[in-house]
Amino acid sequence: MTEQEARQILGVTEETSWEEIMKKYDTLFERNSKNGSFYIQSKVHRAKECLEAAHQGKGEGTPT
């Protein structure tokens, strides 16, 4: 998955803070765990992993 795809899945931009990315992730992940799609939940999780790797790769430290 590319960083652009990950941002589209989570609905965030390059300027979005890591805290906001995690809020979006938590919301989407929880919605799909209760009454949604396992496929979408999986895509949301992979998108977060992709952005986490990109965030760490830019030397911005470990996201918390």
Residue with tokens 């929880």: 30
Q: Which residues contact 51 (CB under 8 A, 6 or more apart)?
A: 3, 6, 7, 10, 12, 21
**pLDDT tens digits, one per residue of 2-49:** 999 999 999 999 999 999 999 999 999 999 888 888 999 999 999 999
Q: What is the pLDDT of residue 63?
A: 57
Burial class (CB in 10 A: 0-12, 13-18, 19+), 41: middle
Is pLDDT above 90 for 60?
A: no
Q: What's the pTM value of the predicted model, to 2 decimals?
A: 0.82
